[in-house]
Chain A
């Protein structure tokens, strides 16, 4: 086994090769962002005056957000500004930037920002070794699609010697296998249904469209959580522990709970660095709602520069506000016996799941007219037909293993379900998942979250 220092160096080189494989030119951007934040972290510690520390923090935020703004949002704002002026007959010659979005920029920028903020807040000592910090930013399993790890969690694991154990390797393999299953079997197969329906939604009945909205809910979940599992598994095999990014989100009973279970690394990031930074719930009711809305709105825009993400983020913000508003009233609902408790729980689950699905519709649609067709067909032309039955049965065949596993996880209140299974069930589970992957795994689609 290599010495700890050499392990880090090897991982750093591997991470840079991994990122450069996609487009080597963006390595400079990654290195520049890393170098700047590393230096600013050290400067924050060195300065005695708070005002100087703050200047470093602000400079880092401006720098990181400028990179993000140029690569991710410039064209969106330029195009919209251009069309806004065009409506008044003014031709505003704004040049567009013709380069690709660097993959994973939103993830590593946020990770880097969390480091600087934590150093500024005094939660973390800055890294004194550039290679440690560079590895923290570019650690390849989580570089392109998260989880967005906190410096307070990941940096010490980079800095301190790690132990690689057979158990860790085994657990890592299990996570990778489960992640690949979710991605290749569930997400990519659901993607086929979704693509067909979203290609021309007016050709399908409302019931069929509803099935494909469910399919998209599972596609995006399995696509993203599958990647997170693979990332966590890879890290685990090397002795790292990345944070859990998803915790049975579709079992949530209200939107607030959903955001505690969905993309946890981003939602906690937004809560800790944005919502609390804005004042959280300490400055009165109105400002709490305002902060919630701003946080979710910006969370929506974090996903991409497009109107559907703006709508989706705003919708999520409104959902959280409405839930907060109705919470006192909901808490008063009395469930005297088990049946009424179960019914009430089931109702809350159904409503929450459908509200989340409505959000996914906004997320997936590329135009308002497409959203309109979906909603119109679902509410005014529901009529299930043979296509609905076929799609529903296909969807069920894609997700039944996931559902079984997640019900088990929920019942046992334990995400690491696999080692606790009886040996025979374990073999049955692995052979079923391997069989489904072999026989029905779809040809791979790009991970949805790579574009963010």
Chain B
């Protein structure tokens, strides 16, 4: 027995420990090579995916963080050429995290699913769907973003799925400062006690578990994680309703946006904001509330539920006035016990499928006319 321990077991344990250390080193080298991540300190998704330059915020060309990867133009999705070929019909999707894709599996965000649907439905047309969304994009920032980052792509059609939550939260910040694009992919990360950050291997294993692990195990793990976060969360009790000045500002911004795109000869399709909030009762969806409050701590349940219909009706009204098609999907995710929304407003793979199909319904007649 002693011989077995000395000759076999101890070398095996030592080998395993050294292998784990080796894996951590490879993980760091990999992040450094692929994402230009620092070798010996913590790195965040904002560093990896977002660039601030003289024109504001944009996606980092070839940026990559965990499951998110951007192409050489800084957009999520496959590689495209900046210059549009004459026979290509280019559709740009604009929006925030719902459009960029947060909870969906890779290539399951709704713009990508829409692109696949279009490929099947219009096999003889060359249609490109460019997902120009960035997490945190607001109506206020959308116009600037369009001018600086999207117009050069010369899209024929723009699908606009705007995030209305910033109108409910941080209203002062919106008026005074251009903090319009804020990345919100982050989960709550506690600072590591180690100066070189927490072991990257754990993050990689976590991802592997999420993408390839047994579903039951993954769900249980997720539920535990959310409950831990929920219990330790400091909730605010504010209840800001939309006031008339906010509504006015919203209208003005949307009109500006529509006029600019129309003057560029672009077909603009607006979308109501889909959500699954009305099927929630109290804390029955702690994970959902938790995620929303994490980003918009001042929003109450009542305020949130009441404001969505208000803002969506504004979309319909302004869309009708300016001749834009509006995709009706406010209630799309609200089937009870459905699995369409991951946190009330962000989609699961299934939810994104519904949204893509809804956009396709509106796009179909437009594309058939072309």
Contacts and interface: CB of A to CB of B under 8 A. Distances in A.
Interface of A: 166, 200, 385-387, 390, 427-428, 430-432, 434-436, 438-439, 441, 443
A427 B211 CA distance: 27
A166 B9 CA distance: 12
Contact of A427 (B15, B81, B201): B15
Most A CB contacts (10 A, CB to CB) among B23, B72, B207, B212 go to B23
A427 to B, nearest CB: 5
Given A166-B8, A386-B72, A438 B19 contact: no
Given A431-B25, A439-B27, A386 B79 contact: yes
A391 to B, nearest CB: 9
A200 B115 CA distance: 14
Nearest to B31: A439
B81 A385 contact: yes
Interface in B69-112: 71-72, 78-79, 81
A431 B201 CA distance: 11
Contacts of A200: 119
A428 B79 contact: no
B30 A439 contact: yes
Interface string B2-39: 00000010000001001111110111001000000000
Contacts of A431: 18-23, 25-26
A432 B212 contact: no
A434 B18 CA distance: 12
9 A-B pairs with the lowest CB-CB distances in the bound complex, closest first: A431-B22, A435-B26, A439-B204, A435-B23, A431-B23, A386-B79, A431-B19, A427-B18, A387-B79
B188 interface: no
A2 B204 CA distance: 42
30 contacts: A166-B8, A200-B119, A385-B81, A386-B71, A427-B18, A427-B19, A427-B22, A428-B22, A430-B15, A430-B22, A431-B21, A431-B25, A431-B26, A432-B23, A432-B26, A435-B26, A435-B27, A435-B201, A435-B204, A436-B26, A438-B23, A438-B204, A438-B205, A439-B27, A439-B30, A439-B207, A439-B208, A441-B208, A443-B211, A443-B212
Contacts of B78: 387
A431 B16 CA distance: 9
A193 to B, nearest CB: 12
A443 B207 CA distance: 13
A441 B208 CA distance: 8
B208 A438 contact: yes
**Interface size grouping (class) on chain B:** 20 to 34
Nearest to A434: B23
A435 B199 CA distance: 13
Nearest to B62: A390
A354 B42 CA distance: 45
Contacts, number: 54
Most A CB contacts (10 A, CB to CB) among B21, B30, B81 go to B30
A385 B85 CA distance: 14
Nearest to A427: B18
Contacts of A387: 78-79
A357 to B, nearest CB: 24
A86 B250 CA distance: 67
B346 to A, nearest CB: 23
A435 B119 contact: no
Contacts of B211: 443
A22 to B, nearest CB: 21
A211 B88 CA distance: 24
Contacts of B204: 435, 438-439
A166 B204 CA distance: 32
B22 A386 contact: no
B81 A386 contact: yes
Given A431-B18, A431-B22, A439-B207, 12 more contacts: A200-B119, A386-B72, A431-B25, A432-B22, A432-B23, A432-B26, A435-B27, A436-B26, A438-B23, A438-B201, A443-B211, A443-B212
A443 B8 CA distance: 33
Nearest to A208: B79
Contacts of B30: 435, 439
A269 to B, nearest CB: 36
Contacts of A427: 15, 18-19, 22
A381 to B, nearest CB: 13
A166 B7 CA distance: 11
Nearest to A443: B212
Interface in B22-66: 22-23, 25-27, 30
A428 B212 CA distance: 25
Contacts of A432: 22-23, 26
A200 B72 CA distance: 23
B79 A390 contact: yes
A435 B201 CA distance: 8
A386 to B, nearest CB: 5
Nearest to A390: B79
B266 to A, nearest CB: 24
A427 B22 CA distance: 7
A385 B72 CA distance: 12
A430 B72 contact: no
